[in-house]
Amino acid sequence: MLQHPRIAERLCKAVVEKLRAERGHSLRVDGVISPALGGIPVGHEIGRAFGVRAIFAEKDEGKLVLRRAFQVKPGEHFIVAEDVVTRGGRVQEVMDIVKARGGIVEAVLVLVNRSGGRAQFDAPLVSLLEWEPSTWPPGECPLCRKGVPVEHPGSR
């Protein structure tokens, strides 16, 4: 769905409105930061909805870092944006980047929270959809039994 800009814009505006309904319109947001790769279009559209800049952290030797002259200045208030949260590892890495530079994380906005409550952050987590996919122990997966190859979407 993120390949369609108008749909991405509408979904991201909807999650921003959900946050505003929960926290009020007086929320301070100086920027939006997201983890590469899936979070980039979400962060961009959420930044547009707030009228602030959108930056992203990208992998360098397996760890997320800020590059491209992106900055988080002490005292700046950020929204962390992501497409899907499964375990929350990438979101937490981005939050740590903001905090290490003296920034403040106001909230985490995601389109889909599939963590089943396992992703816990010290900022409010707001999502459009909460979905907990079915999982099976090794050997009990119906698709595995049929010989369907297992795919790992890259979530952390």
- What the chain holds in terms of domains, given with CATH numbers, is 5-145 (3.40.50.2020)
> Is residue 45's pLDDT more than 90?
yes
Q: In this structure, are residues 111 and 140 in contact, taking their beta carbons and an 8 Å threshold?
A: no
What does the alpha-carbon distance between residue 99 and residue 151 come to, in Å, rounded to a whole number? Answer: 34
Q: Quick: pLDDT tens for 78-128.
A: 999 999 999 999 999 999 999 999 999 999 999 999 998 899 999 999 999
* Total-model pTM: 0.86
Beta-carbon contacts of 114 under 8 Å, excluding residues fewer than 6 positions away, are 84, 85, 86, 130, 131, 132, 133
Instruction: Give the model's confidence band at 154: pLDDT under 50 very low, under 70 low, under 90 confident, else very high.
Output: low
User: What's the CA angle centered on 89, arms 124 and 99, to 5 degrees?
Assistant: 60
Strand partners, 136: none
Minimal CA–CA distance to 115: which of 105, 126, 130?
130
Asked whether the predicted pLDDT for residue 27 surpasses 70, the reply is: yes
Q: Report the b/e string of 58-94 with b at 16+ CB within 10 A.
A: eeeeeebebeeebebeeebbbbbbbbbbbebebbbbb
User: CB count, 10 Å around CB of 102?
Assistant: 11
